[in-house]
Amino acid sequence: MSLTLALLLAGQAATVTPPPVTPQAPAADQAPEPATGRLGNQQQGGGDIVVTARRRAETIQTVPIAMSVIGGTALAETGAYNVSRLTQLQPTLQFYSTNPRNSAANIRGLGAPFGLTNDGIEQGVGIYVDQVYYSRIASATFDFTDTERIEVLRGPQGTLYGKNTTAGAINITTRKPSFTPEARIELTTGNYQFIQAKASVSGPLIPDTLAIRLSASVTERDGTIHNVVTGKDLNAQDNKSVRGQLYWKPTDNLDLALSGDYGQQNPNCCVQYYARTGATQRPLNRQYAALAAAQGYVVPSTNAFDRVTDVDTPLRAKQELGGVSLLGNLDLGASTITSVSAWRFWNWDPSNDRDFIGLPITTVSANPSQQTQYSQELRIASNGKHTLDYVLGAFYFYQTIDTQGLQVQGPAASAFLLNPTSAGGRNPATLNGLTSRNTIGFTNTSAALFGKLTWNVSDRFQIAPGLRLNYDKKKGDYVSVVNNGTGTALTADQRGVLAPQSYQPDFDNWNLSGDITAAYTVTSDIHAYATYARSYKSGGINLSGLPLDGSNNPILSAATVKPEKVNHFELGLKTQFLDRRVTLNLAGFWTEISDYQATVTNGQLGVLRGYLANAGKVRTRGLEFDSAFRPTDRFSFYANGAYTDAKYVKFVDAPCPPELSGGTTATAGQTPSAPGTAGGISPQNCDISGQRLPGVSKWAFSYGAEYDLPATLAGLDGQVYLGYDGSYRSTFSSNPSRSAYTDINGYALSNFRLGFKAKDSWNVFAWLRNAFDESYYEVLALQSGSTGLIVGQPGDPRTYGLTVSRSF
């Protein structure tokens, strides 16, 4: 049986095999337990973890890619049940989410523009589940269900994974059906009324021919932020998901896996609220303190970590996500053909409070959206190892999105958004009831041909070039109808806040990208590699409205953004020594992106969503290490770290930070005022070349240890264990243009667990997360209108609980 088919036959399951035997996939009725190391290899006892990062079966230490692997057991024990929590284990992975739709995953500081999501572009970090591309980053907010392992691939992966992986990929593999009956159940309870239940069952329907696997997950938790007006707790969790899979092996050389999944979230979520204020260049009586005082308004607390708010718009973050896929493998002897067909959908039904306080400024802000996608991938890969190995393939993707946006201004909008010297003044009737209804359509067609060759020059040296030819076509239709509720023509004040727009952006492009890697095996436990990649991220279209000119008409030239062009260089060294009790992997990288796709802030006061534009050039460079140690059979520890220097090399016409915004716009020959000058002169735009990219810390670390002792409990032989996982990240910017008001201070988090584990049966452990109750922000943002109000989303406080799991 071929090596490639063997791994794919079991759904590409991670396996642990003793050295020096070449990894071979087990039969479906003899599948081994997944790797249990928290980061893949520090607890493998010297064995090899088999991965398929290059669409071929290879051990993690021999793959010439900077990557980490986390097994399903580790996900459960560390509480990393979604991508957001995964960041505490992965220093170079960043994930930001103000609600499921407005989420972003970045690797090494790259991946998605920082700010509210714009459907007209793709993320730069691809998310794959069982080889199916998930085009919506919202899928990353769901709980991992019956997960075998997660591979985090760092750096461009465009040849094999597509144009949407200029920063990296998150490759999730679920557990597959087994011909041996088995079942798993996991129950967790904790403070904040946290309840999580996961269960799966698998077994044969027809011995050795047809097997089934069913799994489900439920997570509920009260919110950590209390609304003093409604009495509800916000930023809660309410997740439900089910997954089923049929595995059919009609012959020795053919297998098919039919999968279906459905997930729903409907929590009281998501709130950002008062964090601090900062001085802008608006007149002093038009800044937040004076505006709030004039309304007689006082926030419940000026300390966000009191965790109270009074937002006056009901919050909702309801989404549904699911789909069906068919994965087939046909072994031809010398090669294996793989087909991956999939259909997926995503429905989003939100309600937000986009003024972030308890005044009726923006009373409705919602963009319900419905998406469907179809994808087909066909690959052929050589089996075994020859002088020349190959993976060749074709990919097709089609996506539609329909969005129905609604924004309504309230009676306090005039006071906050209009200049009192204008015709409308502070008259509440000017903006009260002003409504924008947006109808947005989008189609995205993508196709590609790709190939990756591996020339085994010798037993030690290989050269692996790859190419991908992409075609992309995006079409949109944006219509915004604005009315003031009186049936009269809109005034200049009203159009300055919400302006009617109608435009039909269109983008299409061909692109050729590629990479080449040279890898050298110094010894059986020391592997070095060097990679160059010329990668590409598709251009896009603006689907959140366009900026307006001086006459409040949309600037149509801003309807499209150019593709990103990436040059990437990387050197890596993967080592194991002391009888493989020590693993140390190093990587150094330098990545430059021209025409970087950035989110910029609209200059109009009432516009809450930014639009896309191309920055001239950005650069990220850095050093990473992954290390794992097992000095004894009872004790293991790990430490991973990243130094990331990510900055704008050239961005001369960027939006200005809040301290340089809100004043009279400078005209030719005028000198802008100093930052924070009330009633001052603001620049038309700002040159932020040399500033750091938002969302990425210069220093980030994760570290941990586990110690166990043999023990017998209730007649069961096993181990008592104590585990610790910690993480640290230094200060990072939370605004596209760095501001003194939106820097998030560095912080460290510590998690503990204490439990008893019996082999192949019980695992019972108590856990404590954010043990020292660190107060930190996940995101800081600005209230529109340059009022100087900074709002934030605090991270979770200290949580604790108990998990009981049982395998049968």
Instruction: Report the pLDDT value the prediction gives residue 117, as an integer from 0 to 100.
Output: 73
Q: Mapped to the 3 state alphabet, what secondary structure does 82-139 carry? A: CHHHHCCCCCCEEEEECCCCCEEEEECCECCCCCCCCCCCCCCEEEEECCEEECCHHH
Tokens 């264990």 sit on residue? 721
pLDDT band at 545 (very low <50, low <70, confident <90, very high): confident
Question: Residue 158, CB half-sphere, CA atoms under 13 Å: how many?
Answer: 32
383 vs 390: CA distance, rounded Å: 9
425 vs 433: CA distance, rounded Å: 16
Eight-class DSSP state of 673: P
- Prediction pTM value: 0.88
Fold of 3-807: Maltoporin; Chain A (2.40.170)
Positive or negative: CA dihedral 158, 121, 83, 643: positive
Statement: residue 25 has pLDDT above 70: no
Statement: residue 31 has pLDDT above 50: no
Eight-class DSSP state of 686: B
C-alpha 347: how far from its chain's center? 18
Q: Is 69 in contact with 151 (CB distance < 8 Å)? A: yes
**Pure H helices in 351-491:** 413-417
Question: Residue 482, CB half-sphere, CA atoms under 13 Å: how many?
Answer: 24
Instruction: Report the pLDDT value the prediction gives residue 763, as an integer from 0 to 100.
Output: 93
Statement: residue 145 has pLDDT above 70: yes
Q: Is 746 in contact with 730 (CB distance < 8 Å)? A: yes
Instruction: Report the pLDDT value the prediction gives residue 174, as an integer from 0 to 100.
Output: 92
Tell me the pLDDT tens digit for each residue of 134-143.
Answer: 988 777 777 8
Q: What percent of the chain has pLDDT over 70?
A: 90
Statement: residue 346 has pLDDT above 90: yes
- One-letter amino acid of 649: V
Statement: residue 133 has pLDDT above 60: yes
Which tokens go with 800? 């604790």
Instruction: Give the contacts of 758 (CB within 8 A, at least 6 positions apart).
Output: 713, 716, 717, 718
Statement: residue 550 has pLDDT above 70: no
Which of the two residues, 550 and 412, has the higher pLDDT score?
A: 412
Which tokens go with 15? 């396996």
* Strands, E assignment, 410-460: 435-456
Q: Is 728 in contact with 772 (CB distance < 8 Å)? A: no
Which tokens go with 243? 């997954």
* Strands, E assignment, 457-563: 461-483, 501-503, 506-523, 526-537, 540-541, 560-561
Instruction: Report the pLDDT value the prediction gives residue 260, as an integer from 0 to 100.
Output: 96
Which tokens go with 440? 């947005």
Lowest mean pLDDT among 58-62, 454-458, 556-560, 701-705: 58-62
740 vs 777: CA distance, rounded Å: 15
Tokens 């399903």 sit on residue? 72
Q: Is 740 in contact with 714 (CB distance < 8 Å)? A: no
In the three-class reduction of DSSP (H, G, I as helix; E, B as strand; rest coil), residue 538 is classed as coil
Lowest mean pLDDT among 64-78, 274-288, 442-456: 64-78
Q: Where are the domains of the chain?
A: 3-807
Measure the N-to-C terminal CA separation of the chain; round to a whole number of Å: 29
Lowest mean pLDDT among 54-58, 81-85, 449-453, 784-788: 54-58
pLDDT band at 262 (very low <50, low <70, confident <90, very high): very high
Statement: residue 601 has pLDDT above 70: no
Which of the two residues, 485 and 752, has the higher pLDDT score?
A: 752
Lowest mean pLDDT among 41-50, 214-223, 378-387: 41-50
Instruction: Report the pLDDT value the prediction gives residue 685, as an integer from 0 to 100.
Output: 83
Average pLDDT for residues 172-196, to the nearest whole number?
A: 95
Q: Is 438 in contact with 404 (CB distance < 8 Å)? A: yes
Q: Is 423 in contact with 414 (CB distance < 8 Å)? A: no
Instruction: Report the pLDDT value the prediction gives residue 280, as an integer from 0 to 100.
Output: 95
Statement: residue 30 has pLDDT above 50: no
Length of the chain: 808
Q: Give, in degrees to the nearest 5, the angle at Cα 58 between 56 and 60.
A: 130
Burial of 293 (0-12, 13-18, 19+ CB in 10 A): exposed
pLDDT band at 565 (very low <50, low <70, confident <90, very high): very high
Average pLDDT for residues 467-472, to the nearest whole number?
A: 94
Q: What percent of the chain has pLDDT over 90?
A: 62
Q: Is 180 in contact with 203 (CB distance < 8 Å)? A: yes
118 vs 634: CA distance, rounded Å: 49
Instruction: Give the contacts of 311 (CB within 8 A, at least 6 positions apart).
Output: 227, 229, 234, 271, 273, 353, 356, 357, 358
Tell me the pLDDT tens digit for each residue of 709-723.
Answer: 999 888 889 999 999
Question: Residue 726, CB half-sphere, CA atoms under 13 Å: how many?
Answer: 15
- One-letter amino acid of 492: A
Instruction: Report the pLDDT value the prediction gives residue 580, as an integer from 0 to 100.
Output: 86
Of 317, 306, 412, nearest to 366 by C-alpha is: 317
Lowest mean pLDDT among 389-403, 417-431, 730-744: 417-431
The pLDDT mean for the chain works out to 87
Across 12-16, 525-529, 548-552, which has the greatest mean pLDDT?
Answer: 525-529
359 vs 379: CA distance, rounded Å: 56
Statement: residue 520 has pLDDT above 90: yes
Q: Give, in degrees to the nearest 5, the angle at Cα 590 between 585 and 591.
A: 120
Statement: residue 540 has pLDDT above 60: yes
Q: Phi and psi for 77 in degrees, rounded to 5?
A: -75, -30
In b/e form, how buried is each residue of 302-326, taking b as 16+ CB within 10 angstroms?
eebeebbbbbbbebbbbbbbbbbbb
